[in-house]
Amino acid sequence: MGKALPEGFLESMRGLLGPEYGDFTAELGKARHVGILVNALRVSADAFAAIMGFEAERVPWCGSGYRILGGGRPGGHFHHSLGLYYVQEPSAMVAAELLAPRGGEAVLDLCAAPGGKSFQMAAAMGGEGVLVANDVNPKRVHALIRNMALSGARNAVITNESPERLCGALPGFFDKVLVDAPCSGEGMMRKGPEAAKAWGTYRAGRCAAVQSRLLACADRALKVGGEMLYSTCTYNPAENESVIAGFLEGTGMRYEAMDSRPDRDGLSPGRPEWVGWVPGGDTRLGGGSEAAEALRKAVRIWPHKAAGEGHFAARLRKLAEGGGEPLAATGRKAARASGAAEAMGGRDGAKARGAMWAQGAMGVKGGGTGRKGAPSHGFAPCDAGVAEAFARFAYGELEREPRGALIWDGGTAYLAEVPPDLLERLDGIRVLKVGIEAGRISGGAFRPAHELAFSPGAAEFRRTLDYPSADPDNAAMRYLRGESPPGSVCGGGDGYLRVTVDSFPAGLAKASAGAVKGMYPPSWRRMG
């Protein structure tokens, strides 16, 4: 493996690691690690362990993470299609775990694609508060949308915006900000030849400038007392210790470093002496200054010391404001529709309930159509017609009205639990999705979307159809491939129904005249 790696990279690592270099390169010659992150919105890590379809061991630095043993392929298992877990390299789990978002907080993932860390944080938040997942790359953001749909989070807002514009729109808004910065990717070298090729393009100096800019943006968005987590998947001190030391000094030490290593096996400390290091230079340069010494509380993962690839993380708490004035504090509890916990009323109440959805669900003054004066991104409380159509659908198909607000972008309805004024604050920002996709209007009727049944707790359908994974007829896999296997509908009658596999939500189907037609989206279907 070592001979396939760039000679410049190997020379740098030889200088940094000294006597450890042989152990390091020997480890890189072995197979890379594969892990899964259990989605606590759907199943607890302990409960999943009882049904896991492959051999694995717990990741020591992540309570919901497992490292796959024996060459298992978790991406091909039907549990992955059900959103029970996300396939993620074990060391990549450390950043979100250290930031430790909680329910009720406002959290920003500034460089979120492809979505693994947003997936992890959404599960940790338990559906409470708000998670803004952003990525500036319009191509990578599609993976973010898909993976957040797998998570089932109704409190997530996905944006495709520059960090400067997004953080400028929400100064002082967030309790926690994750900056998983683009980097030279040295820690992913054994992932494949693409990583080695990228190293020649994304040199450390170029990356460090971008990383410093991202930290400045995060500083703008974070409230005083809030926490920031900076992470990379590279070994290079110029992108790790030097970037953080420069940020601390540049802010006049308005941040304090927080110790992230206690009680976590496999995590090594940061290296203050590497601040200012350049390839081929002295490896003991930066120790002694307050900013450099703070790096002892940072975290490194080395592949020859832990079962993971290369990673760096530094957790910081903001002590004081240094730029523009923060916005006034806003409520961070998820907005809930009044009457959400009430049983469904009669059909005559559809118009009244529709008015509630249109005017009250987001706490927006005026209500009405919700389109006049809507934010430029197009997402706003739904108009009365859409809300009434949804209320009619809910009366006929659901046990109870789902929690949250019905949001409309002019073509698609979304079900979301986010702060009441967030969409107004995001005026001028490219917002791609709010919460989960609920459905569309067709022929005056509301047609539910896959996510309304797939997302945990989004809607309780009157009719259900469960496929055991162990069924000899393989009905569950046939459904996930887009087929329409036969089955008996629990609840009887025609209409939409929720399909489950081993009681886990899988999607939608429609019963008509005793036949069941699968509605699994083509873009989600399994090919195998």
**DSSP alpha helices (H): ranges in 398-509?**
422-425, 450-454, 475-480
Angle between helices 241-250 and 204-221 (to 10 degrees): 40
User: Residue 233 catalytic?
Assistant: yes
The whole-angstrom separation of Cα 508 and Cα 469 is: 17
- DSSP letters along 236-293, please? -GGGTHHHHHHHHHHTTS-EEEE---TT-TTPEEP-GGGTT--TTS-S--STTSHHHH
Question: How many Cβ atoms from other residues are within 10 Å of residue 142's Cβ?
Answer: 15
From 62, 111, 207, 233, the catalytic residue = 233
The Cα 42–Cα 271 span in angstroms is 39
- Ramachandran area for residue 49 (φ above 0: left; ψ -120 to 50: alpha; else beta): alpha
* Assigned token pair, 354: 């529709």
CA atoms within 13 A on the CB side of 284: 1
Give Cβ neighbours of residue 443 (< 8 Å, ≥ 6 apart). none
For 180, the enclosing helix (H) or strand (E) is strand 174-180
Whether 81 contacts 300, CB under 8 Å: no
Pair of tokens at residue 507: 């999607």
Say if residues 211 and 181 touch (Cβ distance below 8 Å). yes
DSSP letter for 458, please. S
Please tell me what DSSP assigns to residue 176. E
Q: Which amino acid is at 52?
A: M
Distance CA 87, CA 373 (A): 42
Return all residues near 442 (Cβ < 8 A) that are at least 6 apart.
none
Catalytic residues: 233
